[in-house]
A and B are shown apart, each in its own frame.
Chain A
Amino acid sequence: MSNDTTSRQSWWQRIAHPGQFVAWTTPLLMPLAILTAVLFVVGLWFAFFNSPEDYQMGDTVRIMYVHVPNAWLSQFVYAVITVSALGTLVWRHPLADVSMKAAVPLGALFTALALFTGALWGRPTWGTFWEWDGRMTSTLVLLFIYLGIIALWRAFDDQLRAARVVAVFTLVGAINIPIIKFSVDWWSTLHQPASVFVPGGPRMPLSIQIPLFLMFFAFTFLFLVLHLKAMHTEIKRRRVMTLQRKLAQRATP
């Protein structure tokens, strides 16, 4: 962080100041929230009233409209956390660990929802809530990694130190996730020569694509809004902790 070039700071450096970041992004919150709500309303309307049943899945295709966005977010959020972890370790950006801390619980929630909706889709389609197929199993492992990160973070007292250690573990996870995915896929095809229906396969009719895309963007914007709001809260929480520490220091001597 160089303070000497105040006149020609890049936006990157300018948002590095937490207070500035809050001031800059607060006006964004309300429009984004409204956009999310509109997307949800339109998406749900399409999902229930304006899309046909799939010729193969019947009405259960409607579960896909909430399942696919959650499954996408479970991986997208991990990508966000990974980039934030790089931000913490490589660039030492002060907001990166705030972003990481705000995103992890959201990622865990979306992953859990992907599993939940997947199970409810699997019951009518495969005849069982849980199938040890490649997708579901690697999503379950991803959920364990998220929960592990949360547990690791909560175990630390010192938040700044926690951020760096969690960032290292997050990167280890990021390297490992493709390996886990590969091994689980290999394993599940080994045990059952898969003939699983692949959602989003070769060619979906437009009437199914429209609600899918709407819900996809609705959930993605939902994540962005919640992430931003949680980052603001986290920044305030850090200020609270600093003030409390100051108060305690003043009280002791």
Chain B
Amino acid sequence: MSPFMAMLRRELRLALRGGGDVLILVLFFMIVGAIVPFAVGPDQTLLASIAPGIIWIATFLAMLLGLERLFRPDHEDGSLILLRQAELPLSAVIAAKLIVHWLVSAVPLLLASPILALLLAIDVPAFGRTLVSLALGTPALAAFSAIGAAVTVPIRHGGLIAPILIAPLSVPVLIFGVSAITSPQSGAATLFLAALSVMAVALTPFVAAFAIGSAED
């Protein structure tokens, strides 16, 4: 088994061992989405018109919630130092972590989104576009989360700072993500979203590895 595959398996096993994490994330996503109607009122047409925004905000917040898991445990038990000295370059380690992070924190949200769509009165074609936009946009969110987590690993209470750092970076994801669902130019927005994700995912392993490396030495 190649080192990269071994890393993937290790991460996946660690992430799924505490299966509660995934469940809590999905629960949080659902609750954020479901609490909005109480705040804005039960008007079906209004809800349907802001539903893409609500779903994206819920996704964004849920993914912020899970970012601590990326590097914090490895930093605390010292395995991050071991991983830095491994044969596999740190950027490849982070790429594996990023893939697993996306699998365990974005895919469950995608699977749970039909229920939220039902509650928020989204019609079927719009829901199809919502799924596409979430699938294309969440890799970029995961990548930004990884950068935020990597930059704040050395800080003891970094969990509070990372969201502040990530939110401004995520503005384009939210813009193109919601536009891909609702706007008349949804085709262009979808392409921009995909481009953003490709770029973020391609660069993040190197940036995050560099951040971790420069914090340690």
**CA of A113 to CA of B45 in the docked complex: distance in angstroms?**
40
**CA of A182 to CA of B173 in the docked complex: distance in angstroms?**
12
**CA of A152 to CA of B149 in the docked complex: distance in angstroms?**
12
**CA of A151 to CA of B196 in the docked complex: distance in angstroms?**
26
- Tell me how far the C-beta of A187 lies from the nearest C-beta in chain B, rounded to whole angstroms: 5
Q: What chain A residues lie within 8 Å of B161 (beta carbons)?
A: 148, 151-152, 155
- In the bound complex, do residue A151 and residue B185 qualify as a contact, i.e. CB atoms below 8 Å apart? no
Which A residues, 180 to 203, have Cβ-Cβ distances below 8 Å to chain B?
A: 180, 182-184, 186-187, 190
- Tell me how far the C-beta of B186 lies from the nearest C-beta in chain A, rounded to whole angstroms: 11
In the assembled complex, B171 has its CB within 8 A of some CB on chain A: yes
- In the bound complex, do residue A148 and residue B168 qualify as a contact, i.e. CB atoms below 8 Å apart? yes
Contact partner of A184 among B158, B167, B175, B192, CB < 8 A? B175
- In the bound complex, do residue A168 and residue B164 qualify as a contact, i.e. CB atoms below 8 Å apart? no
Taking residues whose C-beta sits less than 8 angstroms from the other chain, chain A's interface range is: 20 to 34
Contact partner of B207 among A145, A164, A168, A183, CB < 8 A? A168
**CA of A190 to CA of B169 in the docked complex: distance in angstroms?**
21
Residue of B nearest to A144 (CB): B168
In the assembled complex, B197 has its CB within 8 A of some CB on chain A: no
- Tell me how far the C-beta of A158 lies from the nearest C-beta in chain B, rounded to whole angstroms: 8
Q: B51-59, B96-104, B209-217: which one contacts chain A?
A: B209-217
In the assembled complex, A156 has its CB within 8 A of some CB on chain B: yes
Contact of A179 with B147 at beta-carbon distance under 8 Å, contacts A152-B165, A155-B158, A165-B154 already known: no
In the assembled complex, B25 has its CB within 8 A of some CB on chain A: no
Q: What chain A residues lie within 8 Å of B168 (beta carbons)?
A: 141-142, 144-145, 148, 173, 176, 180
Q: What chain B residues lie within 8 Å of A237 (beta carbons)?
A: none
A-B pairs, 8 with minimum CB distance: A183-B172, A164-B214, A144-B168, A168-B211, A148-B165, A155-B155, A187-B175, A183-B175
- 18 more A-B residue pairs beyond the given contacts A144-B164, A155-B157, with a C-beta to C-beta distance below 8 A: A89-B214, A144-B167, A148-B161, A148-B164, A151-B161, A152-B151, A152-B152, A152-B161, A152-B165, A155-B161, A164-B214, A169-B147, A169-B165, A172-B147, A176-B169, A176-B172, A180-B171, A180-B172
Of the A-B pairs whose beta carbons lie under 8 Å apart in the complex, a sample of 29, sorted by A's number, is: A141-B168, A142-B168, A144-B167, A148-B161, A148-B165, A148-B168, A151-B161, A155-B152, A161-B154, A164-B214, A165-B211, A165-B214, A168-B210, A169-B165, A172-B147, A172-B207, A173-B169, A176-B172, A179-B172, A179-B196, A180-B168, A180-B169, A180-B171, A182-B172, A183-B175, A183-B192, A184-B171, A184-B172, A190-B185
